[in-house]
Structure 1
Amino acid sequence: MSADQELAGRLALVTGAGRGIGEAVVHALAERGARVLATDLDTAGVEAAVAGRYDGRVTARRLDVTDAAAVEELVADVEDTLGPLDIAVNVAGILRGSPVAELTDEDWAATFAVNTGGVFHVSRAASRRMAGRGSGAIVTVASNAAGIPRTNMAAYASSKAAAVMFTKCLGLEVASSGVRCNTVSPGSTLTDMQRGMWADAGADPEAAARSVLEGDLAGYRTGIPLGRMADPSDVADAVAFLVSDRARHITMHDLYVDGGATLRA
């Protein structure tokens, strides 16, 4: 089967699909023939991105991943109306940057509610059904910050680390049922989240991008050996591979897509 049809006939649920990596994942899956339920708090971005494309195979639905009942209701409705889910991709995430001493309870809780709780809610609802059918693939988009300390990112890094370990544990539990669970951990990627970090710091975008590529000794941060920041499509292509049959013997794996930034330390 050609690469552009390797996911033909499969139904995928993508969270955080309104922009950035989530939007890129929607395109990557749809371009490979999948039907995609693209969810976000704001569906306008999804609808604009897919307008007139994919022959109606992409459907936009509003979803708050922090609401367990809403997630369960949506997944049940999808399976009743569109068919069984073959793929679930957790992309929805938020970043509240702050030194720990200034980090509020609200920001800590909100970060975990989306980045960890949302992954739990969606993966639980999807895996329960996939396991009963004996097949399925779940991918969680985490972050390389889950594997290496970052200043001013304790809540984000901790929530992503929890999401990675949750996904691996789930993968172990459902492996015997034919369901694969993996994570993709991007480094710095040119998304609104990345640009927002620069804006919050009051940095010049060009200077900030240069700092990311070259590293920051004062921030205990290595640069990017490949010399470029990722495009969202770089991450989406990794996701598309992991949900395809080409990755049929890969589960509980954490795939770093960061240009070598963490040195895998």
Structure 2
Amino acid sequence: MNSELWGEDRYPALTAELRGDCTRCAGLCCTALWFSKSDGFPADKPSGVPCRHLRADWLCAIHDRLEERGCRGCRAYDCLGAGQRAAALCSGLRENGEPEGRAQLCAVFLTLVRLRQTLWYLVCAASLRPAGALLPGLERLIAEEQRLEAMLPQPLPAGAEEQWRKNADRTLRRAISLTQQQVLRGRPARQVRDGAGRRLRGSLTGADFGMGLLIAADLSGCVLTGANFLGADLRDADLRGADLSESIFLTQSQINAARGDGATRLPPRLKRPEWWCEKTR
């Protein structure tokens, strides 16, 4: 793809690792996570309690029927490879049926999820042309994340994860600012913090949706060059026909939770969900 904003993937091997593989996991998202009925699950489930649909082989008994069973949250979720990484790091605990072993495995998984959510953004930022000046710092932050992962399954040093995340957040904010400067050329960025249920039109180039509520927002047909989606809630957002190919800091979970079609254009690294209609409406 010839892109104004996206350069080459500087971390292709790491990008591949940031994709979940349930066959190499141990049902960790189905056990470690807290499910909320308001977040697209059929019922609330406490953290540490296995989902009732989790089979003995750690796979989901209704994986091909998640939508009809009211499990849209499960369908949208992406662990960024934290599941198989935790299972590999704790191979001795994977088959351990003891509660203590499962609790430790779940704790490692949750730590990895937090680390990898930020790592995803750092890897994306490393390929952003406008953020080229930040590359040395991004490389150091990515290397530090890998060093933290290598310490697991032992507990991380006190404050190490928090300090790393603060440093990463500062760098990511700078990457957003540099991208907006390039695409807006001095014009102020449009900020949308609450677009829930709204039809969003007008100029959305360089728009800042960061941490915004976009539940059921209508972005169909919009061109979103340089738009920042870091942490935005896109559940049921209408992305049919939208051009997100040069949007920044989107995740697969956000795309999975939204609605799109065959005409929706996605940025590098993200895949079109198989359940999206392939016909443009």
Normalised-by-shorter TM-score class: under 0.3
Q: Greater RCO between the two (CA within 8 Å, min separation 6)?
A: 1
TM-score (norm: length of structure 1): 0.25
Larger Rg: 2
Give the structure with the larger strand fraction: 1
